[in-house]
Amino acid sequence: MRENPRAAVRVEAGLIEGVQSEELTVYKAIPYAAAPVGDLRWRAPQPMLPWNGVRRADAFGPIAMQSGSSVPGAPTEPVSEDCLTLNVWTQATSGAAKLPVLVWIPGGGFTKESASMPLYWGDTLATRGVIVVTINYRVGLLGFLAHPDLSRESGHNSSGNYGLLDQIAALAWIKRNIAAFGGDPERVTIWGQSAGSMSVSLQMASPLARGLFQRAIGHSGGFFVPPAATRSPDGKFLKGAEEQGVRLAADLGATSLEALRNLAPEQFLREGLAGTTLPIVDGYVMVEEAYATFAAGRQNDVPLLIGSNADEGRPMLTGKNIRLATFAEDIGEDFGSTIVRELAEEYLSIAPVATDRDAWELRAAFERDLRFGWDTCTWARLHAEAGRAKVYYYYFSHVPPYPPESPFSDWGAGHWAELRYVFDHLNQEPWAWTQADQTLASTMATYVTNFAKSGNPNGEAVPVWPNFTTDSRRVLHVDDAVTIGGVPNLDGLRLLDRKYQGLRFNQREHDEVGSYVPVPKPTT
């Protein structure tokens, strides 16, 4: 495809020049904040200083410091602390176009991310009348470390959550600058998968993100599990996370913040270090658990499109030897949680299990529900109950045509399976795609772009997708064809829900998932 430089566009820090093809212009590695290096390590993102002349935006920048890739098989990319950049794909030829904006928050367990891997490029979706933006943000210990000295210097008595603050800074930059690319700052959709979807749920809960987006999309991830069910419950709140940060400094032999900030960034990628690498309730970005925010109707009340996949648990079992005799003990050890072990014991009553292969299938179902299904169902329910905006809920069970030699061949409709369809990127893999695959990719991409335009995925040439309500609980089931059904995997979700409600509130017995009247616990 022929590419040429495009006339410079002015953003707040100066002029930038992208790369133009026949249909699109792409602007790569636009800095939305100053490099978080030196004294800016573990600080909220700071404004980018203006530059002189025209800055070329024709090559992707480095991604955040990390080890490995966030998606199996993705190309290796350079990493750096200087990573606070975003990429823009636009079809607009002037600032007057006012196109809706899709902002992709990549996943990777909050320890990895990439705004530039080919799977996430906006080249196809942007031809459907939207602007696509992908953002990098800090991850791991450089993105989420809490420490009492960091809290003291912050000005708001909190630390950690720097990766979430980066996302908020990127959204604020988009609100101020996207009109220059032909975008509408009042039609912004935040959108992510896995940890990116968890981020979407947290940005819906954060008061700092209010007004920065008007719609939200989440694939396979939410942040609603009670801390008591996790490996380190105290570490989900500021005080416990600060204590972990103190242990990290001791592990690294750093006696001051200055010493910590002088360490090479590679030091924080070592295995086994203390310190949180996940979002926490810090009293500033997250003033309370997201569950409490949604249950009370305090979330950013915007239209929501979410879902998860039928075989999410399969990729999590790669290389694991699952044994029926030690089913629950092995799960408890893997997750480091007594609560999870107890849940696994109860799961054995859901389906007949007689062999190790049966146990493998049950473990895959358990991990699907535990990691993704329960959060998705709970997110949909809470927003439908307490919010006024509509919810659209899907369940993806279509299996891509993985080649037999592919590392994904036993994954089914696993984690990441839907992304090639929603980005309409089947052409990136030389697999035996069928007409059903092509039709499904067009359908999923149309749903996403329709939702970005209006807050409703429906429109011409796609099957009707009814919204999810607490009364109807209608879910879009996506396989070779698209159909409408109920909430899937109810037995497992009910089991999880009873246990979690018992941890969080006084337990009450009900038939439907999540139909409990909460009794607030004491403030943590």
Residues forming the active site: 194, 312, 415
Strand 14-17 versus strand 85-90 pairing type = unpaired
Q: Taking every pair of C-alpha atoms in the chain, what is the biggest distance, in angstroms?
A: 70
**Sequence-ordered list of residues with C-beta below 8 angstroms from that of 331, at least 6 positions apart, any chain:** 340, 341, 344, 363, 366
Could you tell me how many helices (H) and strands (E) the chain has, helices first? 14, 15
Considering just the CA atoms, what is the radius of gyration of the chain in Å? Answer: 22
3-state secondary structure 471-482: CCCCEEEECCCE
Strand 54-56 versus strand 14-17 pairing type = parallel
Question: Residue 237 — φ and ψ, nearest 5°?
Answer: -125, 160
Beta partners for residue 160, in sequence order: none
Q: Exposure of 58 by Cβ count < 10 A (0-12 exposed, 13-18 middle, 19+ buried)?
A: middle
Q: Which two tokens stand for residue 154?
A: 């912050």
* Alpha-carbon span 139 to 144, nearest angstrom: 7
How big, in percent rounded to 5, are the helix, strand and coil portions of the chain?
35, 15, 50
* Alpha-carbon span 322 to 310, nearest angstrom: 20
* Alpha-carbon span 133 to 182, nearest angstrom: 12
- Residue 243, classed as helix, strand or coil, is helix
Q: Which two tokens stand for residue 89?
A: 């794909």
Asked whether 416 and 314 are in contact (CB, 8 A), the reply is: no
Which one-letter amino acid corresponds to residue 13? A
Element (H, E) at 168: helix 162-177
Give strand ranges (E) for 328-436: 391-396
| CA count, 13 A, side-chain hemisphere, 136 | 32
Q: Exposure of 491 by Cβ count < 10 A (0-12 exposed, 13-18 middle, 19+ buried)?
A: middle
**Sequence-ordered list of residues with C-beta below 8 angstroms from that of 273, at least 6 positions apart, any chain:** 141, 248, 251, 252
**Sequence-ordered list of residues with C-beta below 8 angstroms from that of 258, at least 6 positions apart, any chain:** none
